[in-house]
Homo-oligomer: A and B are copies of this chain.
Amino acid sequence: MFESAEVGRTVDKKEYAKRAPELRARILKAQQALAATRLRLVIVVGGVEGGGKTELARRFLDWMDPRGLRVEAYGEPSDEENERPEYWRYWRTLPPAGHGAILVGSWYTRTIVGRAFKEIGSGEFDQALDLAMAFEAMLIREDTALVKLWLHLSKKEQKRRFTELQSDPDTAWRVTKQDWAFSKKYDRFRGVCERALAKTSVADAPWTVIEATDRRYRDLAAGEAVLAALQAALKRPPPAQGVPDRAKPPKISVLSRLDLTRRLEDGDKKFEKQQTRVALLSRRLRKEGRSLICAFEGVDAAGKGGSIRRLLGAIDVRNARVMAVAAPTDEENAHPYLWRFWRTLPRLGKTTIYDRSWYGRVLVERVEGYCAKEDWTRAYAEIVEFEAELAESGVIVCKFWLQISQEEQLRRFKERVKTPFKQYKITEDDWRNRAKWDAYQAAAVDMIAKTSAPDAPWTLIEAEDKRWARLRVMKAVADRLEEELG
């Protein structure tokens, strides 16, 4: 793969003086066109040390409109980053619609360095690359013009460049000990990178390997690649419109089989026992380097709010936060779907409770047609990946589906209308959604089937009796905490 980037490509001054301004004008024009769309530009600049990644980023800043274009260099993670899944830092720096980012270093860096120094095995390496590919696939489907550039130098050229920099007092600081350490392992790096690039060069997100020996050639080749990616993205058809999905639920399903007659009589003692378990276990989260996420789903009036309130009663409120998932803000709309959930992930020791969650994509958005079928169908896999990342980083994930009967829902709606301090809970939407009962049940059945995972299991709650439901939720959280904290 890299041989073809060691053939001695150069651009002379004259040619550069002719081509660069033309290219710049075209890139600038495409950038302006992008600014008016839902698209974002993400330029990943990878490559060997000494290849000029930062120089190239500077060139782009110079060529393009630096407003709305930021350079991200991922150095040592901050403690806030270390306390979240690895990709949190990539999510938090994603540019919004119309903007761009030049990433000097990326989600490949740690993986490649780790493998080159044999800190991770080949299985873990491939797994990390799979994660990178899933992330990129999501980015592309969510309106991103993604360009992946790889700046290559031959072993000889790298060494020559380091030596040259070091011999000049003005530039010697630019060559670090790490650079020499990497240089010594050039061959090993080369093999690892070759594997990484080959595996992750997919049709939608290919790597452009650029011979970086000659700076003029490097900049023009990189610019051409960015221009091509921008133009291709701008030509993409507009996103497909959603259509309401009114599937029928299967006659027999995990939901129909729930025994909604379960009731709890005189269960105060039992409830208190579970509450104490949660209280004691949740206090250990910080010490054990863990955090907790509880997501609540269920039809309107299924009792999500009441269960959340009881759960909050067991957890130190200074460490807990309830996110009520309503209509996204415009900043959220300007980012990929899961961004709004990534931004609310708890730090170590903390708990985030979601009153409705990322499952909205495969529930309300599916049923109401708020997104295209291709969007909610791909969401299952994206959600499974998301929760796997959470679990991998030590987040304990609990997911609840609260099931009630249609009759019970009606009874609760009527009660809400009557009770002054519950009136705010009932809206026109609730009555409308009721008419789509079957569609929501069908969506829930699919969701449960497609997104259950050992590290992120669904707990189905018979919620016809509120007290029973609350006990079940509390016990499930206690059990999960115990299982995970040992």
Contact = CB atoms under 8 A, between A and B. Distances in A.
Residue of A73, A317, A329, A355 with highest tally of chain B CB at under 10 A: A317
25 contacts: A25-B421, A28-B424, A29-B421, A57-B317, A57-B318, A58-B317, A61-B317, A62-B309, A65-B305, A67-B305, A67-B322, A67-B323, A67-B324, A67-B355, A68-B324, A69-B322, A70-B322, A78-B78, A78-B347, A79-B80, A173-B283, A329-B330, A329-B331, A329-B334, A331-B331
A421 B54 contact: no
Nearest to A24: B421
Contacts of A283: 173
A312 interface: yes
Contacts of A173: 283
Contacts of A25: 420-421
Given A32-B424, A61-B312, 7 more contacts: A28-B421, A54-B316, A65-B424, A66-B308, A66-B309, A329-B334, A330-B330
A24 B420 CA distance: 11
A58 B330 contact: no
A28 B422 CA distance: 9
Interface string A312-338: 110011111111100001110010000
Contacts of A65: 305, 424
A246 to B, nearest CB: 29
A329 B58 CA distance: 28
Interface of A: 24-25, 28-29, 32, 54, 57-58, 61-62, 65-73, 78-80, 104, 173, 283, 305, 308-309, 312-313, 316-324, 329-331, 334, 347, 355, 420-421, 424
Contacts of A69: 322
Nearest to A279: B170
Instruction: Count the copies.
Output: 2
B32 A71 contact: no
A466 to B, nearest CB: 16
A88 to B, nearest CB: 13
A57 B312 CA distance: 11
A85 to B, nearest CB: 17
A104 B305 CA distance: 23
Contact of A318 (B73, B318, B324): B73
Nearest 3 CB-CB pairings of A with B: A67-B324, A73-B318, A25-B421
A303 to B, nearest CB: 14
Contacts of A329: 329-331, 334
A66 B313 contact: no
B62 A313 contact: yes
Contact of A79 (B32, B72, B78, B424): B78
